[in-house]
Chains A and B, each alone.
Chain A
């Protein structure tokens, strides 16, 4: 027989080769891109700035800030310029504890109520309980926080007590602390930016990938549709759309489905920012779909959907991420723009655009409240700046051909 058994010497050689192979670390596309990105100091500073921003925005309730709602509309505090005056949260810890105890008692009584108790008694108890909850200082000062936010506020009160950072960014028309409002506004602005970009990502990638992969007249029709949408001045259509959606009855109907004003925002903005993404993804998919790995997948019995979503899309993720980082700033800008015009986020929610609006509204020749414009504007501009830099850096890092040009 021709098949010879490998000798001891061969075996040890193979083993050596294997070991050597194990030691060599392949440089993946992502590692390579990361290495290039790390050399770009502007992009790295932006990246760290954004990471810090996201973390502080998330933990805003935990920071010893003043309440973004609390009004101090006396003469002394109205439009107070930046200062270091000592200030404390406006409630007594004992009162809050007392209210909580009473609410817990009421809840317990409600639970203990026998099943055959008169409906009236039950309803009364419920009303009392709701009133107690409404009176709670947290709800008053922080506009009915959710579960997580409540927990963070509780932790903040436990650690810092009633101590607050003084109004180093001044106060607004109603004596509310600008610093706290900028921080709370960051939460809304960032969430709108991220979620709307995500919606645009999902629509754009699936649309572009399907058009590119299916090709032929389907592709032509789909891309023609995109062309038509491109030539619509979207801001105007969106504003038109928002007038309808914010109409009283329509809003109530949507609210019944759990869609509030901000959710409408993500959907509407996301629904218009997918066009560029769809075009880019389509171009990439067309260049990829004749590669052998696609043929291999098809031979293996994979359907179109599986090929598109499991084989093709992971290969265009690089460029998709680049466009995502460039979409987020334009979405945030758009949100600020609409909120600035009074068509976006509505009080008591705050966003940077809304704060800018409040600041610019009160510019008069008599007195200039520059802090109302400067601080929200600075926050917005710095974030957009960082996102743009990071997007440019990522594009250079993930697409080396562009750098060489």
Chain B
């Protein structure tokens, strides 16, 4: 019983903190939205008639501030983010549900690429320490960390798309169209994971149980993959939380660069067009997403490494 209850309590605590965070973000955002002239809580602005009707139906302009604050919060608690402030006949929910699957698949692809290339490069580097391959991989990793993804994406569009004609430049739908943006998005994370894996492997390879495994006459490949890798991947797993946050951020730029109709592009459009309700909705969704991912990562960490105690 006790073994089952403890994770549940931790989960409840996490949920409470997430709610607190969301509330904080909401309150700050509301204060800003309320204070800005021409914001969505004032009626004195020039906007197209259709949008005005939409908004007036939803918002109660003449209510006192606290009532507007609570009403909006109530709506959001029911996952109703109200009408877009700039796009005619669109609710924020529609925009988010349209863009989100696109961004999610891009992000998942990027994360998979990062894990695949990062761990492979890290394992090869560690098992051939100080060889040419090791130096080359680690040099590449340093470059990957330092180069901003929009520089990398810009250069790779020029080279891969226009000089070599290998892949299409933009758009969304086919696997060829996903490949280049996902690779560009994953590059810095793959680089970081490679460094983490290499450091973890080097540490683990010096431990006694690895020597025992070798002494039993196992193939070096088996020792590395089946015995060492599991221990070496722990830092990588704990890095997945920040990596997810980074990929969310990076997808803002990459989506824009490759003209991908994901929620990242929508968010930037909203920011440039001062679409406050859409921005509010997206910020809250991203905050929630990040919290959920972090909790998942922590739990999976505890599952992989029994020594780790959740708190």
Contacts and interface: CB of A to CB of B under 8 A. Distances in A.
A374 B155 CA distance: 7
A249 B148 CA distance: 33
Contacts of A341: 252-253, 256, 268, 271
B162 interface: yes
B253 A340 contact: yes
Interface string A331-373: 0010011001111000000000000100110010100101001
B29 interface: yes
A227 B24 CA distance: 12
Nearest to A392: B142
Interface stretch (B56-64, B65-73, B120-128, B283-291): B283-291
Binding site secondary structure of chain B:
helix
Contact of A236 (B24, B155, B282): B282
Contacts of B271: 239-240, 242-243, 341, 343
A237 B146 contact: no
Contact of A381 (B25, B147, B253): B147
A370 B24 CA distance: 45
A231 B36 contact: no
B134 interface: no
Interface string A111-139: 00000000000000000000000000000
Nearest to A246: B274
Nearest to B289: A233
A35 B28 CA distance: 48
B21 A228 contact: yes
A130 to B, nearest CB: 30
A231 B294 contact: yes
Interface string B220-264: 000000000000000000000000010011001100110000000
B249 A233 contact: yes
Interface in B12-38: 17-18, 20-21, 24-25, 28-29, 32-33, 35-38
Interface in B134-152: 142-143, 145-148, 150-151
B142 to A, nearest CB: 7
Nearest to A405: B203
B279 A233 contact: no
A232 B287 contact: yes
A90 interface: no
B154 A363 contact: yes
A244 B25 CA distance: 15
A247 B150 contact: no
B194 interface: no
Contact of A337 (B18, B38, B150, B267): B150
Contacts of B310: none
Nearest to B153: A360
Which of A228, A233, A336, A356 has the most chain B CB atoms closer than 10 A to its own CB? A233
A381 B146 contact: yes
B146 A388 contact: yes
Contacts of B204: none
A81 interface: no
Nearest to B249: A235
Interface string A38-59: 0000000000000000000000
Identify which of B271, B276, B283 gathers the most chain A CB atoms within 10 Å of its CB: B271
A342 B163 CA distance: 28
B191 to A, nearest CB: 11
Given A236-B282, A385-B143, A336 B148 contact: yes
B252 A377 contact: no
Interface in B141-180: 142-143, 145-148, 150-151, 153-155, 157-158, 162-163, 169
A236 B151 contact: no
B150 A356 contact: yes
Among A240, A370, A377, residue most surrounded by chain B Cβ atoms (within 10 Å): A240
A380 B149 CA distance: 12
B272 interface: yes
Interface in B89-135: none
A185 interface: no
Contacts of B282: 236
B276 A232 contact: no
A329 interface: yes
Contacts of B145: 388
A228 B20 CA distance: 8
B151 A363 contact: no
Contacts of B291: 231
Of all A-B residue pairs in the complex, the 10 with the closest CB atoms, nearest first, are A377-B151, A385-B146, A384-B146, A360-B154, A373-B154, A233-B286, A235-B249, A381-B147, A239-B271, A249-B37
Interface of A: 227-228, 231-233, 235-237, 239-244, 247, 249-250, 329, 333, 336-337, 340-343, 356, 359-360, 363, 365, 368, 370, 373-374, 377, 380-381, 384-385, 388-389
Given A340-B253, A343-B268, 14 more contacts: A233-B245, A233-B248, A236-B249, A236-B287, A240-B280, A247-B38, A340-B150, A343-B272, A363-B157, A363-B158, A368-B163, A377-B147, A377-B148, A380-B148
23 contacts: A228-B21, A231-B287, A231-B290, A233-B249, A237-B25, A239-B271, A240-B29, A240-B283, A249-B37, A249-B38, A329-B146, A342-B272, A356-B150, A356-B151, A356-B154, A359-B154, A360-B257, A373-B155, A373-B158, A381-B147, A385-B143, A385-B146, A385-B147
